[in-house]
Amino acid sequence: MRARRAPPQPPEPPEPPEAAPVERPGLMRKYRELLTKHTALVRKLEERTTLHVSTFKLSSWALETSESALAVARTGRVILANSRWHALCRVKGPWRLLGPHGPTGPEHVSLRELTLAEAEGVLSQVEEGARLTRYRRSHADVPRVLELRTERVAGPVGGEVLLLAQDITVQVEAEEELVRARAVGVERAQIRALGELAAGIAHDLRNTLNAMRLRLEMLQRDTVIAENSQRHLDALTHIVSDASGRVGRLQDFTRQKPTGGVEHVQLVEVVRDAVDIARGGIEHRAQRTSAPLVLELALPDALPRVAGSAMELRYVVINLLINARDAMPHGGTIRVSAGHRAKTVWLKVEDEGTGIPEEHLPNLFQPFFTTKGDKGTGLGLSMAHGVVTRAGGKLSAANRSKGGAVFHITFPALKPPARRKAGAR
């Protein structure tokens, strides 16, 4: 028997393909939005970075090209500074703090030392705010002034100090020139006021003396009175005449007449007129205080003439005589002498008073500097110095070895006018 063949098996059905992932519209949209925002943030970050780099470059350029010296300091060291600061550090000192009356305090050899000292001072102070100081370079042929502005940094870097230094030499010179110009204006105003006051007083005194002279003349015409009191009348007439002469010289002194040019002044005549004007005040002071004051003159008959203004030089001598009187509260002798040697005419006014403190001698002729306190204006000697200087002379002061002060004035002597030869027309 034949074996039966097994019937063929039907083929297995193929496995169905995997289903594709279903796209969710909401999640994809959110992803694209985040990608867009990220791209925008990256672009903005790039722009910010470029701006910061440009700002840094601009700031660095501004700091390096600034005329001001800039530095950041901590206690004991400078951590950052621009090129101007380094350049000023090479300027040799010493530097001293500039106070109201000139340099003071310790010396600093360089700007670096100044910066550290200022930083220490700012960090030690309790109050907040900027600190402004000025320093002048001393012992130098060319003066120089620095202005330092220091301020403590607030916040997380509180131990640091910012410093800004500027060279203000030109500004300080302009300020000092302005002070001198104001001083000259005050001097002129006071001279004008003094002249007007003196002129008014002299006018009233002259009228009074003229009335007294008329009364004396009437008394001298009365034979009865003149016979018994002629001696007293003559003395009174002489006193009134002498007083009229002094008032007349005072009027000449206050009457500032314009001159056509430089005067050729006979110094001896100027000194004698000044002594006559000041003598009354000196004698009155001696009588009021019972302190004997003696006025000694050692003057030649004549001297070579000098250039200047007789009125102004008369004022100089009067001022020196009054200062000598005030310097001798217990009395003494005022000596006035004059002479000439070679091509120089000299004048000395000496006293036996308290002298001049050595520390005051350099500032004695500065405007508004006075050793008399509230009793002085500080203008007399500065004006006298200006008058002598304008006349081409020199005025100096010193202390005498025997006590007291001496003021010494020198002038260039003018050549005498050439004499005409005999027979010349």
- Over residues 302-330, the pLDDT tens digits come to 899 998 888 788 888 988 998 888 888 88
pLDDT at 336: 94
Q: Check if the beta carbon of residue 112 is closer than 8 Å to that of residue 151.
A: no
3-state secondary structure of 354: coil
pLDDT at 1: 46
The CA distance from 343 to 178, in Å, is 37
- The H-or-E segment that residue 217 falls in is helix 169-221
Whether 404 has a pLDDT exceeding 50, the answer reads: yes
Give me 104's structure tokens. Answer: 């003071």
Give me 348's structure tokens. Answer: 């000395």
* Residue, of 145 and 51, whose pLDDT is higher: 145
Closest CA to 167 of 281, 103, 91: 91
Closest CA to 74 of 165, 163, 164, 166: 163
Give me 40's structure tokens. Answer: 């925008």
Which pTM value belongs to this model? 0.46
Mean pLDDT (whole number) for 248-268: 67
3-state secondary structure of 148: strand
* Residue, of 155 and 43, whose pLDDT is higher: 43
The CA distance from 219 to 146, in Å, is 77
Highest mean pLDDT among 14-23, 37-46, 416-425: 37-46
Mean pLDDT (whole number) for 129-143: 80
- Which stretch of 169-183, 263-277, 372-386, 403-417 has the lowest confidence by average pLDDT? 372-386
Q: What is the CATH number of domain 260-415?
A: 3.30.565.10
Q: Per CATH, which fold does 65-167 belong to?
A: Beta-Lactamase (3.30.450)
The CA distance from 324 to 334, in Å, is 7
For tokens 């009027």, the residue is: 251
Parse the chain into domains and list their residue ranges.
65-167, 182-256, 260-415
- Over residues 213-248, the pLDDT tens digits come to 888 888 888 877 777 778 777 777 877 776 777 677
Whether 372 has a pLDDT exceeding 50, the answer reads: yes
pLDDT at 376: 55
Q: Give the HSE-up count for residue 304: Cα atoms under 13 Å, Cβ half-sphere.
A: 17
- Over residues 332-359, the pLDDT tens digits come to 899 999 999 888 999 999 999 888 888 8
pLDDT at 98: 86
pLDDT at 267: 92
Burial 311-347 (b: 16+ CB within 10 A, else e): bbbbbbbbbbbebbbbbbeebbebbbebebeeeebbb
3-state secondary structure of 358: helix
3-state secondary structure of 305: coil
Give me 133's structure tokens. Answer: 């100081």
pLDDT > 90 in the chain, percent? 10
Chain centroid to CA 174: 10
Cis peptide before 94 (omega within 30 of 0): yes
DSSP conformation class of 372: S
Mean pLDDT (whole number) for 130-142: 80
Q: Check if the beta carbon of residue 159 is closer than 8 Å to that of residue 123.
A: yes
pLDDT at 260: 44
Same fold, 65-167 and 260-415: no
